[in-house]
A = this chain, B = another copy of it.
Amino acid sequence: MLIAVDAMGGDLAPQEVVCGALRAAPDLGADVLLVGQAERVEPLLNQNGACPPNVRLRDASEVIDMEENPVRAIRRKRDASMAVAIQTVCDGEAQAVVSAGNTGALTLLSKRKLGMIGGVDRPAIAVTIPTLTGCALLLDAGAITDCKPQHLAQFAVMASQYVADVMGVAQPRVGLLNIGKEDYKGNELTREAAKVLDGIDLNFIGFVEGDDVFAGELDVVVCDGFVGNVALKVAEGLGDLVVELIRREAGKSMRARLGAMLMQPSFRRIRRQLDYREYGGALLLGLQGVCVKSHGRSDAVAMGNAVTLAKRSVETQVIDHIRESCARL
A residues near B, CB below 8 A?
67, 69, 130-132, 142, 145-146, 177, 179, 182, 184, 186-188, 190, 209-215, 223, 225-227, 229-242, 244-246, 249-250, 252, 255-256, 258-266, 269-270, 273-274
Task: Report the minimum CB–CB distance from A186 to chain B (whole Å).
Answer: 7
For the complex, give the distance between the alpha carbons of A239 and B210 in Å.
Answer: 12
State whether A145 touches B186 (Cβ < 8 A).
Answer: yes
Q: Using Cβ atoms and an 8 Å threshold, which residues of chain B touch A215?
A: 237, 240-241
State whether A238 touches B241 (Cβ < 8 A).
Answer: no
State whether B211 touches A236 (Cβ < 8 A).
Answer: yes
Checking B67, B186, B236, B249 against A269 with a beta-carbon cut-off of 8 angstroms, the contacting residue is: B249
For the complex, give the distance between the alpha carbons of A211 and B227 in Å.
Answer: 13
Q: Using Cβ atoms and an 8 Å threshold, which residues of chain B touch A214?
A: 234, 237-238, 240-241
State whether B234 touches A234 (Cβ < 8 A).
Answer: yes
Q: Using Cβ atoms and an 8 Å threshold, which residues of chain B touch A223?
A: 230
Name 9 extra pairs, CB < 8 A, besides A132-B244, A235-B237, A242-B274: A132-B241, A179-B226, A212-B237, A214-B238, A215-B240, A223-B230, A226-B227, A249-B270, A255-B262
Q: Using Cβ atoms and an 8 Å threshold, which residues of chain B touch A237?
A: 210-215, 235
Q: Using Cβ atoms and an 8 Å threshold, which residues of chain B touch A262?
A: 255-256, 258-259, 262
Q: Using Cβ atoms and an 8 Å threshold, which residues of chain B touch A235?
A: 210, 234-235, 237-238
Q: Using Cβ atoms and an 8 Å threshold, which residues of chain B touch A182?
A: 67, 69
For the complex, give the distance between the alpha carbons of A213 and B182 in Å.
Answer: 28
For the complex, give the distance between the alpha carbons of A261 and B250 in Å.
Answer: 13
